[in-house]
Amino acid sequence: MDVKIGVLALQGNVSEHIDAFVLALDRLGCGRSSEVVTVRHPADLEGCQALALPGGESTTISRLIDKNHLYEPIRTFPGGIFATCAGMVLIATHVDDARIHTLNLIDMTVDRNAFGRQRESFETDLPIDSLGGESFHAIFIRAPVATHAGTSVKVLSRLDQGIVAVEQEKHMALSFHPELGGDTRLHERFLKKIGI
């Protein structure tokens, strides 16, 4: 296999990310020469060019990352990381919740559950810089936002509450759920960015 993508499979939207990456790889013309695998232990990361950190419950995922000895292997993972929702919380340098053992891979401060209870879930058409100004139908579920991003971070989209899409080097983080809904443009953009 030429391309191997891992999806962290400790808790959360795992199968949706696997399906979305399979579809995105197909649409990029490398479906036959690629595989998408689940990552539960450090050895599962071997040979992966990218890793997805899915949405779910960030405090639970953080605890399981530590328990499964994945913290250091993910922090030093040489490939690109595609982090969504709870994943965006985990990949940040600063989070408003001391229970999160942050991976410190994207220089930003993240607020969990930034949209409050009454707006726990909503959908909106979001203009995203890296999609050539096109909008993306984004699904937000108890979503975080970044309230501050460092100068090395490229902000791709924001709402009134804060930043909802960023890139830093090989990594991409999104507050919403691109794996739901069948639109794989952001998965494709990420894969192209890391040279696939």
Which residues of this protein are in contact with ligand GLN, per CB under 6 A? 55-58, 85-86, 89, 112-113, 141-142, 144
Q: With beta carbons less than 8 A apart as the criterion, state whether 79 and 159 touch.
A: no
Q: Which of 16, 167, 179, 188 is catalytic?
A: 179
Contacts of 76 (CB under 8 A, 6+ apart): none
- The pairing of strands 106-111 and 162-168 is unpaired
DSSP state of 176: S
129 to each of 98, 101, 134, how far by Cα in Å?
Answer: 32, 30, 8
Q: Which is nearer to ligand GLN, 49 or 157 (CB)?
A: 157
Q: Which is nearer to ligand GLN, 144 or 178 (CB)?
A: 144
Q: Which of 16, 17, 48, 85 is catalytic?
A: 85
Dist CA 148 CA 1 (whole Å)? 39
Q: With beta carbons less than 8 A apart as the criterion, state whether 92 and 109 touch.
A: yes
Active site includes 179?
yes
Q: Which is nearer to ligand GLN, 6 or 56 (CB)?
A: 56
**Nearest distance from residue 177's CB to ligand GLN, in Å?**
7
Contacts of 163 (CB under 8 A, 6+ apart): 108, 145, 146, 147, 149, 155, 157, 175
**Nearest distance from residue 38's CB to ligand GLN, in Å?**
18
Q: Which is nearer to ligand GLN, 73 or 144 (CB)?
A: 144
Q: Which of 171, 177, 187, 188 is catalytic?
A: 177
**Nearest distance from residue 21's CB to ligand GLN, in Å?**
17
**Nearest distance from residue 180's CB to ligand GLN, in Å?**
10
Annotated catalytic residues are: 85, 177, 179
